[in-house]
Structures are given as C-alpha cells and as structure tokens.
C-alpha cells in the first residue's frame, strides 16, 4: 500500500467504512468522488452493488496526492 500524504485541510486521516465505485478491484487508491463514506461495515455491505461496480471496503483518507487530488487508500475489501 502506498503511504498516504496527510492533508491538514481535510482533518486527520482516519480509517472508515465506505462504498467504493470501481470497475476493477485491483486498485489500492481511489479518488474522493468514487468513495462514499458510511457509518458502519453493515451499512457498507447493505449499500454494495457489485453489478454496478459499488463494493464495500475499509479505507484510510482523505489524503492529498502529489497531483493535488484527494484520495482514499484501500485497507481491505469487506
């Protein structure tokens, strides 16, 4: 896993549950617009829709990339 760059404007990095939109589950980082943060693992599992590329995950972020994008880094798929 690449090391996240802390973005002080975004607040502290935290590990959260999310629903990630991605056609392939081979990536380890995702732009902010592809990540929907949810309250719990159960909410992530309930909101998942693999047929529409929405997968439940644990992620860390948001972090600022060297290109200036806000990213979330994959901890693991649920």
Q: pLDDT tens digits for 10-51?
A: 566 789 999 999 998 889 999 999 999 999 999 999 999 999
Distance between CA atoms of 9 and 72, rounded to whole angstroms? 15
pLDDT at site 14: 85
Q: Evaluate whether 70 touches 6 at the Cβ level (below 8 Å).
A: no
Tokens describing residue 37:
């943060």
Q: Where are the domains of the chain?
A: 8-77
**For the whole prediction, is pTM greater than 0.85?**
no
Matching residue, tokens 């617009």: 33
């Amino acid at each position: 896993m690449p090391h996240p760059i802390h973005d002080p404007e975004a607040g502290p990095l935290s590990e959260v549950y999310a629903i990630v939109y991605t056609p392939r589950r081979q990536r380890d980082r995702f732009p902010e617009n592809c990540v929907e943060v949810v309250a719990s693992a159960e909410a992530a599992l309930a909101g998942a829709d693999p047929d529409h590329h929405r997968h439940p995950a644990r992620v860390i972020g948001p972090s600022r990339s060297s290109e200036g994008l806000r990213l979330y880094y994959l901890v693991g798929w649920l």
